[in-house]
Amino acid sequence: MTTTETLTVVPHWIDGAEYPSSSGRTADVYDPALGVVTKRVALADRAEIDAAVASAKKASEAWGELSLAKRQSVLFSFRELLNARKGELAEIITSEHGKVLSDALGEISRGQEVVEFACGMAHHLKGEYSEQVSSGIDVYSTRQPLGVVAVISPFNFPAMVPAWFFPIAIAAGNAVVLKPSEKDPSAAIWMAELWREAGLPEGVFTVLNGDKEAVDGLLTHPDVAAVSFVGSTPIARYVYETATAHGKRVQALGGAKNHMLVLPDADLALTADAAINAGFGSAGERCMAISVVVAVEPVADALIAEITDRMAGLRIGDGRRGCDMGPLVTRVHRDKVASYIDVAIADGASVVVDGRDVNPDGDANGFWLGPTLIDRVPTTSRVYTEEIFGPVLVIVRVASYEEGVDLINAGAFGNGTAIFTNDGGAARRFQKDIRVGMVGINVPIPVPVATFSFGGWKDSMFGDTKAHGAEGVKFFTQLKAITSRWLDPSHGGVDLGFPQND
């Protein structure tokens, strides 16, 4: 095994190149399938935070003045390079996060949708124009960049979540400082290198590795105009409150407890497939994972039988071996998720499948926890109320559609939800009744495509503007309205009255 002294240290990326840290602080980066430290990552100090922001500020001034045509040419180049080499990025993600290669490739493809959306920024930045709103007066609007924007991303999607933000921000003329998760930082450096190869000027895309010190430095830095964040609800609330208190524009996407409502008329085979895919994909480490199946009786027993039958065929192991589900990201997180099984038992729930009994196709030291299915969970249990962020699927039984909707709406989170039914009227009613930001109808993970915007309600979202789509363009630009009058030589005179339209 590699000794600590010889481990590679993942650096920052400042001024268009690797920027070795001098802070003296690092954190371990694991291969979750092997359970060993494979490298270390630099943790920024105040001087490195200031250097990153100063580089971005300088770059933003020139980049924002560059023509849209030239900016978009860089976006197109980045898109082509990413498409050609996404296999490299997927391998990096699997080696540090643990998700299987196919899931890593899917993550990259969803991020690439936003890159492609940003390639049309010339259209998205078009303003409005009204002629002759008053005699000889026209009014029009433009959208201009903010300057330096920060993106603080979580461990579960080291490529896709940053890509929800940086393509739009860059295409709109901003410079981006990305603070990736210290658990899997290498994807960010890889993307920085790709931006350089695509022709992006130095300083327009910066990677600042770090922990809370780096986060706080970006939230309070006077030269950072806006912050995009994705993570747990307590931290999202902290980011929102801290950054807004320092005068910044903020979009902070928090946690979730996503429900799938299953009506008695649903296709149970389709529903069971969906529950497996949405509950255990990426080891449940998704903010859009389905973690609660709300079964309207008498469907629960038959649905559980379908789900357990499929769970028996899942192959758990190293994501590089063609398995269905990989490990959790760290040993600490694995142990925390596993502890909820004991909580469920203590609260009187029935553990149908216990993931702690898994026999993985991988190294014994990996951070393994198999798919877990728990029935009859009380809604007062922490297993129901808290975001577990792991492969634990809960069954809650209700007597009616109305009881199921009331249950979902009573929750603190409002990120995503789904209904499975063959009744079009019930589905249409559900999409209106439910107080959740993203809704799936016979679709278990209702993540909208890049042309629409991503974000939840209630404690799943802090800030007024959602990610990507038209909302993303609004977030990364500021609107300016211009009132224009070109006078002919015959016009003149003084009038101190309030201007009126005539």
Rounded to whole angstroms, the Cα distance separating 378 from 367 reads 28
The secondary element (H helix, E strand) that includes residue 48 is helix 46-65
Q: Catalytic site residues?
A: 287
- Contact between 79 and 115 under an 8 Å Cβ cutoff? The reply is yes
Per DSSP, the chain holds a count of helices (H) and strands (E) of 15, 23
Measured in degrees and rounded to the nearest 5, phi and psi for residue 59 equal -70, -35
pLDDT of 491 = 61
pLDDT at 464: 82
Q: Which candidate, 240, 276, 279, 274, places its Cα nearest to that of 256?
A: 279
Place of tokens 């979540």: 161
pTM of the model as a whole: 0.95
Q: How far apart are CA 236 and CA 460, in angstroms?
A: 9
Task: Kindly list the distances between the CA atom of residue 166 and the CA atoms of 109, 215, 221, in Å, as whole numbers in the listed order.
Answer: 15, 17, 19
Q: How far is CA 34 from CA 22, 26, 318, in A?
A: 29, 21, 8
Strand-pair partners of 375:
350
CA distances from 27 to 4, 41, 277, 282 (A): 11, 5, 32, 23
421-450 residues labelled b (16+ CB within 10 A) or e (exposed): beeeebbeebeeebebbbbbeeebbbbbeb
CB of 150 within 8 A of CB of 188?
no
Please name the residue that has the structure tokens 């469920």: 344
In 10 A of CB 499, how many CB atoms? 9
pLDDT digit of tens for each residue in the chain (502 aa)? 445 568 999 999 999 999 999 999 999 999 999 999 999 999 999 999 999 999 999 999 999 999 999 999 999 999 999 999 999 999 999 999 999 999 999 999 999 999 999 999 999 999 999 999 999 999 999 999 999 999 999 999 999 999 999 999 999 999 999 999 999 999 999 999 999 999 999 999 999 999 999 999 999 999 999 999 999 999 999 999 999 999 999 999 999 999 999 999 999 999 999 999 999 999 999 999 999 999 999 999 999 999 999 999 999 999 999 999 999 999 999 999 999 999 999 999 999 999 999 999 999 999 999 999 999 999 999 999 999 999 999 999 999 999 999 999 999 999 999 999 999 999 999 999 999 999 999 999 999 999 999 999 999 999 989 999 999 999 999 999 999 999 876 666 677 777 766 5
Asked whether the beta carbons of 199 and 73 are under 8 A apart, the reply is yes
Question: H or E element: which one contains 117?
Answer: helix 101-118
- Which amino acid, 121? M
The neighbour count for residue 332, using CB atoms within 10 Å, is 10
What lies within 8 Å, CB to CB, of 402 at 6+ separation is: none
Distance from C-alpha of 238 to C-alpha of 7, rounded to nearest angstrom: 33
DSSP string for 373-436: EEES--TTSHHHHS---SSEEEEEEESSHHHHHHHHHTSSEESEEEEE-S-HHHHHHHHHH---
Do 485 and 133 contact (CB within 8 A), yes or no?
A: no
The C-alpha atoms of residue 151 and residue 170 are separated, in whole angstroms, by: 12
CA–CA separation, 452 and 436 (whole Å):
16
- pLDDT at residue number 1: 42
Enumerate the β-bridge partners of residue 458.
413
Q: How far apart are alpha carbons 237 and 270 in whole angstroms?
A: 37
> Exposed e or buried b for every residue in 363-392, given b needs 16+ CB within 10 A?
beebbbbbbbbbbebeeebebbeebbbbbb
